[in-house]
Chain A
Amino acid sequence: MRFLKQIPKLAWISGSFVFLFVLLTICAPWIANNAETGHFFPLVKFGPETADIFETEFLAAPDQVHLMGTDYVGRDVFARLVHGISNSLYFSLAVVAICLILGTIIGGIMGFFGGWIDLVLSRVMEIIGNFPIFLLQLTLLAFLSQGYGVLLFVMTLAGWIPYCRFVRAEFFKLRNQEFVLAAKALGASRTRIFFRHLLPNSLTPVIIYVPFDLSSTIISLGALSFLGFGEPINVASLGELLKQAKDHFLDAWWLAVFPGGALFLMTLSFSLFGASIRDLLDPRYSD
């Protein structure tokens, strides 16, 4: 992706979209809410869970009252979309953060100690990595109760593996280099070598991977809710709106177009932002 360096515009554009989505996520309660709080805020006077009692028709097409129409029980699609984006992003951030920490710790331990610890954990990684992971996620969600706890568990189950691979490889590469040997010779403790010398120097691939991982976490979270196994029932989410779109695609185009477009824009801007960051941080990708 050498070309990206020549158009730093792209980094700015994708970065501002990312910023916009983060802003939307934080400000969702002020954008769409049915609580009577002020004259100006919330901008749209519908909450994600309230049906419009004046709307006699479910699945109403977009008009001036409902900017993006209503869903199959008469809830405002715009409100559900805003809160859906917000929920998806909050949750995906939590998933990515846990995977990152878990993967970095395990990968660090594997790379630092090597030997049988590395061997055993490698087998574990291979088994989890070769599981038909989407099927496993669906099965666990179908058999356990539907809730955020189970969902978090299911989504982090295999998500830490890429981080673990990155950190492990970096540790293996670094641990026999001169600066580490010098630190050892100077009598630095194992903890100091681990945290001060090895860990900070192995985080570049991890940081580069975060935006891409965020994008794919949003996609797989959407896929789970699309099949009806995602967030708890009635919680607004992008996947849930798209599930409705699947059930009503013959007569409600707004259910497909707006949530689908929002989801695509979100994953696209995170991926492009990730590609721009990668070009800045990783010398292998620039001239």
Chain B
Amino acid sequence: MKAYILKRFLLLFLTLWGITLCSFVMLQLAPGSPLEMKIQRGKDGSLGEKSAVSEEVIQRLRVQYHLDKPILVRYGLWLKDIARLDFGTSFADHRPVISKIAERVPISLIFGISGIIIALLLGIPLGLLSGAHPNTWLDRSVAFGSIAFYALPSYVLGILLLTFLGGGEFLNLFPIYGIQSDAYSSLSLVGKILDRLHHFVLPCICYSLGGLAFIAQQQRASILDALNQDYIRTARAKGLPEWLVFMKHAFRNSLIPTVTIVGAMLPGILGASVIIEVLFSIPGLGLLSFESLLQRDYPTIMANFTIGSLLSLAGIFLSDLLYVIVDPRISFD
């Protein structure tokens, strides 16, 4: 078991290393060198006309940013900085990238994780319900609904929610941008919580819907599978009431595959967050990635790649680990 975890961990770092190397080389080879981008900016980080900087200054900057060295040496230097959690300073506002990211990550994680939790809380009962009554109208509508929700892109849903519930010509029920109102600081504690929740509703619906469909489908399949096992027949034969058979024997075992796919949903958070956060103007990691792309903020883009792939690898690692922990029958020794 320990050997397995260690092996997976080493492979994980190998893959992460490969990803950062690829993205580093890709960004360095992209047209418009980072130095050019930097020189063209004023002190406030705005993109201006090419400034009249002397050759000497450019040369000095070149040395300062190690641009005079070959690309692999630069990558080595970048790795050395990463080891100390130093992602450099942002080209856009000259703040350390790590602190920019640190203030954005919690927002995205709260949305992403609560989206997954809501998907679990609604998806598991729905899946159980339709699995317990296979081939009834209930089962069919759950199955149809989950295909439909799975086919509904989050941006279409988000736009429709904004159009019909966000003011305009229809209902005005929910705020349309940000995570808090302008008058947030003057509210009481209860008011603050309610205000946050109010802003939370629409983005969270967008986050959870796809996952909800996914989990409901998975749970239906696994409860049907569990109900066909021999130990269920044994439990019934020894005279257990049906609800006890269902809840204690079938349900608990059917959770195993469902729990493990949660890890697989983790990497999706970042991709979804770009779209949803741009749509609702939520200051999270997704919006930061989007802005850093528009501003060609190389250090921030690079940091986003690193964190995104780390998240994806951690998700896979977690789901493998959960698989072993939840199901004692499986071992990887």
User: By the criterion CB–CB under 8 Å, are B308 and A260 in contact?
Assistant: no
Q: Chain B residues with Cβ under 8 A from A134's Cβ?
A: 270-271, 274
Given A131-B19, A242-B156, answer yes or no on A250-B168 (Cβ-Cβ < 8 Å).
yes
Checking A3, A142, A253 against B140 with a beta-carbon cut-off of 8 angstroms, the contacting residue is A3
Q: Choose, from B46-54, B57-65, B101-109, B159-167, the stretch at the interface.
A: B159-167
Pick the interface stretch among A35-43, A171-179, A219-227. Answer: A219-227
Minimum CB–CB distance from B260 to chain A (whole Å) comes to 17
Q: Is the interface of B mostly helix, strand, loop or mixed?
A: helix
Q: How far is the CB of B250 from chain A (nearest CB, A)?
A: 18
Q: Are A3 and B139 in contact (CB under 8 A)?
A: yes
Q: Which of A251, A256, A268 contacts B151 (CB 8 A)?
A: A268
Q: Which of the listed residues A2, A135, A144, A260 has the most CB atoms from chain B within 10 Å of its own CB?
A: A135
A195 contacts partner chain B, Cβ-Cβ < 8 Å? no
Smallest distance from the beta carbon of A1 to chain B beta carbons, Å? 6
Query: B312, A249: Cβ atoms under 8 Å?
Result: no
B279, A1: Cβ atoms under 8 Å?
A: no
Q: Let me know if A133 and B271 touch, CB within 8 A.
A: yes
With a CB–CB cut-off of 8 A, which chain B residues contact A219?
151, 153
Given A127-B18, A143-B30, A251-B168: A135 in contact with B304 (beta carbons within 8 A):
yes
Bound-state Cα–Cα, A275 to B217, Å = 13
Q: Please, which residue of chain A has its CB at the minimum distance from the CB of B271?
A: A134
Q: How many residues of B contact A (CB 8 A)?
A: 56
Residues of A within 8 A of B152 (CB): 264, 267-268
Closest to B14 in A: A123
Size bracket of the A interface: 35 or more
Chain B, 93-133, CB within 8 A of any chain A CB? none
What per-residue 1/0 map shows which CB atoms of B163-196 lie under 8 Å from chain A?
1101111100000100000000000000000000
A143-B30, A260-B156 known; A223 vs B275 contact (CB < 8 Å): yes
Beta-carbon contact of A130 and B316 below 8 Å: yes
Question: Does chain B have a CB within 8 A of A109?
Answer: no
Interface mask (A253-287 → B, CB under 8 Å = 1, otherwise 0): 10011001001100110111001000000000000
Does A50 make an interface contact (CB < 8 A)?
A: no
Q: Which residue of B lies closest to A229 (CB)?
A: B293
Known A242-B159, A251-B169; contact A215-B151, beta-carbon cutoff 8 A: yes
Cα distance, A144 to B143, chains bound together (Å): 42
> Which of B22, B151, B162, B170 meets A271, CB within 8 Å?
B151
The answer for the CA separation of A226 and B164 in the assembled complex, in Å, is 19
- On whether the beta carbons of A142 and B18 are closer than 8 Å, the reply is no
Check B163–A127 contact: CB distance below 8 A. no
The yes or no answer to A55 lying at the interface (CB within 8 A) is no
Q: Which residues of B contact A223 (CB under 8 A)?
A: 153, 155, 275
Known interface pairs A219-B153, A223-B153, A256-B159. Does A2 touch B308 (Cβ–Cβ under 8 Å)? no
* Chain A residues in the interface with B (C-beta under 8 A): 1-4, 6-7, 123, 126-127, 130-136, 138-140, 142-144, 215, 219, 222-223, 226-227, 242, 245-246, 249-251, 253, 256-257, 260, 263-264, 267-268, 270-272, 275
What are 14 A-B pairs at a CB distance below 8 A?
A2-B134, A3-B135, A4-B143, A6-B135, A123-B15, A130-B267, A131-B19, A132-B304, A139-B301, A223-B275, A250-B169, A257-B163, A267-B151, A268-B148
Chain B interface (Cβ within 8 Å of chain A)?
14-15, 18-19, 22-23, 26-27, 30-32, 134-135, 139-140, 143, 147-148, 150-153, 155-156, 159-160, 162-164, 166-170, 176, 267, 270-271, 274-275, 278-279, 289-290, 293-294, 296, 301, 304-305, 308-309, 311-313, 316
Task: Give the 10 A-B residue pairs with the shortest CB-CB distance, closest first.
Answer: A132-B308, A134-B271, A250-B168, A267-B151, A143-B30, A260-B156, A127-B18, A256-B163, A268-B151, A271-B151
